[in-house]
Amino acid sequence: MTEAEWLRSADPEAMLKLLKGKVGERKLRLFACACCRRIAHLLRDERSRITVEIIERYADGDATERRLTVARIGTQALLNEMVGKVWDNYSIASEAGCTARDAAGRCPEQAAHDTVLRAAAALALETVGPCPFDTPDLVHHVTWRSAHRDAWQRACEDLCGLLREVVGNPFRPPDLSPLYLTWNDGTVPRIARAIYDERAFDRLPILADALEDAGCSDAQLLNHCRGGAVHVRGCWAVDLLLEKV
């Protein structure tokens, strides 16, 4: 995969393959959580939502592996309750629940891979509805498959954007001088810390202004802070300034 392909890719599996061995568990876990939060409106059970919060805390070292395991078992129990309820909204809820469970998987690489595909499936199902397996109308079925393919592609494009949000551009690491972090008694990392802790991503343009005042001219970093992209916990720009990996 080239840099140009990375920047426009809508294939999460290919992107994750490129990142294998290049990003740590924290980034992979937070990407998985970002995928879950993208379908938060489909996570109808409190256990699934709590699981996502636990994974985020685990990624940052604020929850134990045992707590993560308990959360994973809890989401699996929820899915077991859905056995036999595979039509209409239950199939969407099941995919969403699987997304939260997969995000808590033992292997972070596998968790990221499985979660993004589950999230794409949930988004596609939300758009087109369950597959009409029980209809004798072949034309209807073919039409559904075509619509589902388009919805799946759009969902993958959306989720690949989240992966770029968390990882950045692996082909062009930003230029960060240590002076930016110490400027004005650590103003830049203080702002970044508040953004991270409070999920206050609307303050990213303020962070960009502080970076410029500190002497930063890196267009990639400044544009990311001022751009209109969706930002999530694990944003590569904020992580960079907090020296998180």
Q: Is 128's pLDDT higher than 50?
A: yes
Whether 190 has a pLDDT exceeding 70, the answer reads yes
pLDDT, average across residues 46-75: 92
Structure tokens that stand for 127 in this block: 């758009």
Higher pLDDT, 45 or 30: 30
For residue 5, is pLDDT > 50? Answer: yes
**In angstroms, rounded to a whole number, what is the distance separating the alpha carbons of residues 139 and 193?**
54
> What is the rounded average pLDDT of the residues 70-80?
81
Q: What's the chain's average pLDDT?
A: 91
pLDDT category of residue 87 using cuts at 50, 70 and 90: very low
The mean per-residue pLDDT over the stretch 109-123 comes to 96
146-163 mean pLDDT: 96
**pLDDT score, position 94:** 79
When mean pLDDT is compared across 53-57, 142-146, 159-163, the lowest value belongs to 142-146
Tens digit of each residue's pLDDT (9 = 90 or more) over 158-171: 999 999 999 999 99
Tokens (6 digits) for 173: 């690491």
Q: How far apart are CA 205 and CA 223, in angstroms?
A: 9
Q: Where are the domains of the chain?
A: 3-167, 178-242
pTM confidence score: 0.92
SS (H, E, C) 111-174: HHHHHHHHHHHHHHHHHHCCCCCCCCCHHHHHHHHHHHHHHHHHHHHHHHHHHHHHHCCCCCCC
Question: What share of the chain has pLDDT > 70, as a percent?
Answer: 92
**Contact of 88 with 130, CB cutoff 8 Å:** yes
Q: pLDDT higher for 91 or 112?
A: 112
Burial class, 11, CB count within 10 angstroms (exposed 0-12 / middle 13-18 / buried 19+): middle
pLDDT tens for residues 10-19?
999 999 999 9
Give the pLDDT score at 90: 57
The region of weakest confidence among 55-69, 78-92, 103-117 is: 78-92
